[in-house]
Structure 1
Amino acid sequence: MKLKKSFLLIKYALLYMVISSLGPWALGAIMTTLGSESVWYKLAIYFYLHFQYNAWFVLAAIGLMVFLLEQSKVKIENRAFSKFIVLFNIGIVGTFFLSCLWASSHWSLYLLSNLGSLTLWIGLYYLWNSIKSEFSTFYLTLSNQSRFILQFLVLVFLLKLLVQTLSGIPYIAEIATSNLDVVIGYLHWFFLGFISLFLLFLASYLQWIKLSNFNLGLYLLAFILTEFLIFYRAATVVLQWAFLPNLNLYLAVASLLFSVSIIGISLQSIFAPQSKTQRF
Structure 2
Amino acid sequence: MKSPKPHIKVALAYFLIAALLGVLLRSFPSIDIPFNYRYIVHTHSHIALLGWVYLALTTLIYKLFVQSSMTDWKYRRIFWATQLSLIGMLLTFPFTGYALFSIVFSTLFLFVSYWFFWFFKTHAKREFRKTNAYACIVAALWYLVISSLGPWALGGIMGTLGAESVWYRLAIYFYLHFLYNGWMIMALVGLFFYVLELRHIRMSLTNFRKFFWGINFGIVLSFFLSTLFAEPSVLLYLMGGAGAIFQLFAFILLARFLFPYRDRLRTMCSKWQWIFLGIVAVLLVIKMGLQLLTAFPYFSDLAATFLNFTVGYLHLTFLGVVTIALFFLLDYFGMMHISKIAFALYFMGFVVTEALIFYKGIAGWRGFPVFEAYYNALAVGSLLIPLSLIVVLFGPNNRDG
Change (3 A) 1:119 1:32: same
Higher relative contact order (CA 8 A, sep 6+): 2
2:248 corresponds to which residue? 121
1:271 Cα offset (Å): 5.9
Cα-to-partner distance string for 1:185-206 (whole Å, 9 max, x where unaligned): 1111110011111111111111
Q: Counterpart of 2:284?
A: 157
Identity of aligned residues (%): 36
- What is the rounded CA distance, in whole Å, between the counterparts of 2:266 and 2:192 in structure 1? 12
* 1:44 and 2:164 correspond: no
Give the Cα–Cα distance (whole angstroms) in 2 for the partners of residues 193 and 48 of structure 1: 20
Q: 1:131 to 1:254 in 2, by over 3 A?
A: same
- Distance of 1:139 and 1:81 partners within structure 2: 22
Kindly indicate whether the alpha-carbon contact (under 8 Å) linking 1:215 and 1:264 is maintained by their aligned counterparts in 2: yes
Segments of structure 1 that go 5 or more residues without pairing to the other structure are 275-280
Residue-pair matches, total: 274
Counterpart CA distance in 1 for 2:396 and 2:194 is 24
Give the TM-score, by structure 1 length. 0.93
The answer to which of 163-172 and 131-140 deviates more is: 131-140
2:300 to 173, 177, 184: 173
1:81 corresponding residue in structure 2: 208
Runs of 4+ aligned structure 1 residues displaced above 4 Å come to: 269-274
Instruction: Please tell me whether residue 255 in structure 1 is matched to residue 378 in structure 2.
Output: no
Q: Where does residue 317 of structure 2 map in the other structure?
A: 190
Secondary structure of 1:102 counterpart:
helix
Q: Does the 8 Å contact 1:192/1:223 carry over to 2?
A: yes
- 1:77 and 1:131 in contact (8 A); partners too: no
Q: Quote the residue 2:157 is aligned against.
A: 30
TM score, norm. by length of structure 2: 0.66
Paired residue for 1:66, among 175, 187, 193? Answer: 193
Structure 2 CA distance for aligned equivalents of residues 223 and 13 of structure 1: 26
| Aligned pair partner of 1:94 in 221, 233, 245 | 221
Shift of 1:235: 1.5
1 CA distance for matches of 2:247 and 2:348?
30
The residue aligned with 1:137 is 264
Q: What amino acid maps onto 2:379 in structure 1?
A: A
SS in 1 for 2:229: coil
Q: 1:277 maps to which residue?
A: none
Of 124-133 and 14-23, more deviation after overlay is shown by 124-133
Report the Cα offset of residue 269 of structure 1. 4.6
Out of 243, 247, 252, the residue aligned to residue 370 of structure 2 is: 243
Moved more, 41-50 or 31-40: 31-40
Note the 1:5-20 alignment, pairs <5 A. Answer: 5-20=132-147
CA 1:270 to 1:145, structure 2 compared with 1: closer, same or farther past 3 Å?
A: closer
Q: CA deviation at 1:262?
A: 0.9
Deviation of 1:212 after TM superposition, in Å, equals 2.0
Asked whether the equivalents of residues 80 and 129 of structure 1 are also in contact (C-alpha less than 8 Å), the reply is no
Asked if structure 2 preserves the Cα contact closer than 8 Å seen for 1:75 and 1:134, the reply is: no
What 5-or-longer segments of structure 2 have no aligned partner? 1-127
Q: Could you say what secondary structure the match of 1:18 adopts? A: helix
